[in-house]
Structures are given as C-alpha cells and as structure tokens.
Amino acid sequence: MPRPKGSKNKKSIQTVAQVEAKIADALAAKNALEAEQAEILAAIEKQKQLLKANKKAIRASEKTLAELEEKKALAAAVENAAAQREEIEKAVTKLVSSGKSYEEIMERLK
C-alpha cells in the first residue's frame, strides 16, 4: 500500500477567536490558582497565629507546673520534718518513761 504524500504533523491554523478563547481559559486558570494561593497563605498565617498562642499557653502552663512542683517538694519536706520530729518525740518520751537520764537519751539520739 503506498504512503500518502505530505506530512502528518501539519499544524492547523487557528483563528483569532480560538486563540483568544485559549488565552481566556489560561487567564481564568491562572486567576483561580492565584486565588487558591491567597487562601492557602491566609490559612497558613492563621495557623501561625494559633501556633504562637499555643506556644505561649504551653510556656505559661509549664511555669505554673514548675511552681506547683516546688510547692509540692516544700510541702513534702515539711511533712517529712514533722514526721521525724514526731518520731523523735515518741522516742524521747519512751526513753524518759523507761527512766533514762538526759545524757543517755542524747547518746541514743545521735
């Protein structure tokens, strides 16, 4: 079978109206992408502000937590000292009731 003469890759000639329609479509697509980009940037900015506020709240809660931990440690130390004092008082009372002298009691407490 013989080949047809001429190139199969001929470019078709477009009319001005067809080119203008393609330009309008391209502009519409570009404008849509720019609008979407603006929305994304606004959302990012909003998220940055939320992140900043969140970080500030976390720092404040960490500070409060550290203060509460210090208060807890202080309360535990006070309770521990009170328990030791009570234990020593019981031991001294027991030693006094058993008839030990002041010097013997002091030796035992060391």
Per-residue pLDDT reduced to its tens digit, 76-100: 999 999 999 998 888 888 888 888 7
Pair of tokens at residue 74? 């202080």
CA dist list (Å): 24 to 14, 29, 74: 15, 9, 75
- pTM of the complete model: 0.54
Q: Compute CA distances 94 → 84, 89, 101, 105, whole Å.
A: 15, 8, 12, 10
pLDDT tens, position by position, 25-83: 999 999 999 999 999 999 999 999 999 999 999 999 999 999 999 999 999 999 999 99
